[in-house]
Amino acid sequence: MARYKVGYIVGSLATASINRMLSKALIRLAPPDLEFVEIPIKDLPLYSYDYDDDFPAEGRALKDAIAAVDAVLFVTPEYNRSIPGGLKNAIDWASRPWGDNSFSGKPSAVIGASPGAIGTAVAQQSLRSVLGYCNAPQMNHPEAYIRFRPGLITDAGDVTDAGTERFLRHFMEEFREFIVRVLTALPRHAMASR
């Protein structure tokens, strides 16, 4: 009985992405009234404002996909202390053309995994800054910096560490509450774009 549709964007294009594994786990642990659909980013050309008058099919598909969901969940790695270029490219596409910013008023949350100790913290700060500019309301708390180790998440998306599982479940419950709060203040039909 899904009430809220969440589009998730995996910031990694790698086939063996640990962040894709994390997204699978998050979906399994989420409250039952959240329904998930992936918003793919890998086939987007590199953005230029030359496209603004006539978006290619991939750019239109991205914007349509974001318009069709109530909220967006970003599950991203950290590349060179920032977000991967492919993710930034997708955000640039979705934010344009000027006056038709797909993220405006759209509830969002950010999470990521890396094998390193800071678990994508720097990339997430960078992404939060981008989302702020794009006028996307973002869940501030809890923050989620996941230190990945092989075996933490099974191929089926089960989390093998009880503490991590509890935390990820809590993260998704909080995201649900955040979506409800934002959509109460900014009902779907009233979302403005700029």
Instruction: Name the site residues for ligand FNR (rule: CB under 6 A).
Output: 12, 14, 17-19, 77-81, 114-116
- Quick one: DSSP state of residue 159? B
Q: How far is the CB of 40 from ligand FNR (least distance, A)?
A: 15
According to DSSP, the residues that pair with 145 across neighbouring strands are 112
- Which contiguous run of DSSP H or E holds residue 112? strand 108-114
Is the previous residue joined to 142 through a cis bond, with omega within 30 degrees of 0? yes
| Closest separation in Å from C-beta 78 to ligand FNR | 4
For the bound state, the minimum distance from the C-beta of residue 185 to ligand FNR, rounded and expressed in Å, comes to: 33
4 or 8: CB nearest ligand FNR: 8
Nearer to ligand FNR, 161 or 177 (CB): 161
Q: Tell me if residue 131 falls in helix, strand or coil.
A: helix
Q: Which is nearer to ligand FNR, 18 or 34 (CB)?
A: 18
User: Using CA atoms, how far apart are residues 149 and 74, in angstroms rounded to an integer?
Assistant: 20
Closer Cβ to ligand FNR, 17 or 193, answer by number: 17
Tell me whether strands 145-147 and 71-75 are parallel, antiparallel or unpaired.
unpaired
Which stretches of 32-114 are DSSP H helices?
57-67, 85-95
In angstroms, what is the minimal distance from the CB of 159 to ligand FNR? 16
Residue nearer to ligand FNR on the CB measure, 22 or 71 = 22
Would you call 111 helix, strand, or coil by DSSP?
strand
- Kindly tell me which of 17 and 135 has the beta carbon lying closer to ligand FNR: 17
What are 56's two structure tokens?
């290619």
Cβ(58)–Cβ(43) below 8 Å: yes
Closest separation between CB of residue 12 and ligand FNR, Å? 3
Least separation in angstroms between residue 181's CB and ligand FNR is: 29
Rounded to an integer, what distance in angstroms lies between the CA atom of residue 124 and that of residue 82? 8
